[in-house]
């Protein structure tokens, strides 16, 4: 009887001792998902209205690059851009093939004279925490021209629509940052908007 009670108490202690670990992991998962959604929102904020003038573009470029790991990679149009680069240096020049080059010289939202806004229909977003330091993230960037009756200008994807792990985020020093991206363009989804 004493052995049964001891085993039962030991088993209960193990289960109860493990409960905070499970709950903490769930809390961590939901906190990570919230932070990943915030990273996604920060990206849209940074690229929206980014091309209205040189000062705004320079600020947007800094904000965008702050969302990426130092060794991040973007593959767009068959070209690989690797490493963050630094605005105002040769690492941001056209042809340097850094992320700074990509955003400064090739991304439509940052072209001077463009007053574009980037939006994502919520049903196109997909975020999966792969482990405590890596997440797969997919969303669309549908760009509208604010100065041209909100005309649709582009629909670029953050990741490839049907291929896993084509857009990744990594947790660095407690903060989620984008680390890998394959970009493509797709037809915009049908938006349910009532028009008169």
- Find residue 172's DSSP bridge partners: 175
Domain count, the chain: 1
Q: How far is the C-alpha of 172 from the C-alpha of 193, rounded, in Å?
A: 39
Q: Is residue 162 part of a domain?
A: yes
Q: Is residue 192 part of a domain?
A: no
pLDDT at 189: 63
Q: Is residue 196 part of a domain?
A: no
Q: How far is the C-alpha of 188 from the C-alpha of 6, rounded, in Å?
A: 64
pLDDT at 62: 97
Residues whose CB is less than 8 angstroms from the CB of residue 157 and which lie 6 or more positions away in sequence, other chains included: 138, 139, 140, 141, 183, 184, 185, 186
Q: Is residue 111 part of a domain?
A: yes
Residue range of the domain that includes 67: 2-185
Residue 194, pLDDT > 90, answer no
73: exposed, middle or buried (C-beta count within 10 Å: 0-12, 13-18, 19+)?
A: middle
Q: Is residue 95 part of a domain?
A: yes
Q: Is residue 190 part of a domain?
A: no
Q: What is the pLDDT of residues 97-129, one digit of tens each?
A: 999 999 999 998 899 999 989 888 878 889 999
Q: Is residue 131 part of a domain?
A: yes
Q: What is the pLDDT of residues 13-43, one digit of tens each?
A: 333 343 343 345 667 889 999 999 999 999 9
**Per-position DSSP letters for 24-76, written without gaps between them:** HHHHHHHHHHHHHHHHHHHHHHHHTTTTSSHHHHHHHHHHHHTTEEEEEEEEE
Q: What is the pLDDT of residues 127-136, one digit of tens each?
A: 999 999 999 9
Q: How far is the C-alpha of 90 from the C-alpha of 80, rounded, in Å?
A: 17
User: Residue 149's domain is classified under what CATH number?
Assistant: 3.10.450.50
DSSP H or E stretch at residue 169: strand 167-172
Q: Is residue 171 part of a domain?
A: yes
Model confidence, pTM: 0.79
């Amino acid at each position: 009887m004493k052995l049964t009670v001891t085993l039962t108490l030991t088993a209960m202690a193990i289960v109860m001792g493990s409960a905070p670990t499970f709950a903490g992991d769930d809390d961590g998962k939901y906190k990570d998902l919230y932070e990943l959604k915030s990273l996604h929102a920060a990206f849209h904020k940074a690229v929206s209205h980014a091309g209205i003038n040189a000062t705004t573009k320079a600020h947007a470029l800094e904000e965008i690059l702050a969302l990426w790991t130092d060794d991040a990679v973007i593959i767009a149009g068959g070209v690989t851009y690797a490493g963050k680069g630094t605005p105002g240096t040769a690492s941001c020049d056209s042809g340097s093939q850094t992320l700074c080059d990509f955003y400064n010289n090739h991304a439509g939202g940052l072209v001077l004279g463009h007053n574009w806004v980037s939006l994502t229909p919520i049903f196109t977003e997909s975020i999966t925490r792969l482990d405590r330091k890596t997440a797969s993230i997919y969303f669309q960037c549908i760009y509208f021209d604010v100065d041209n009756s909100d005309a649709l200008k582009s629909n670029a994807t953050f990741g490839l629509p049907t291929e896993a792990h084509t857009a990744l985020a990594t947790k660095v020093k407690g903060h989620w940052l984008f680390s890998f991206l394959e970009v493509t363009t797709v037809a915009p989804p049908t938006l349910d908007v009532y028009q008169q």
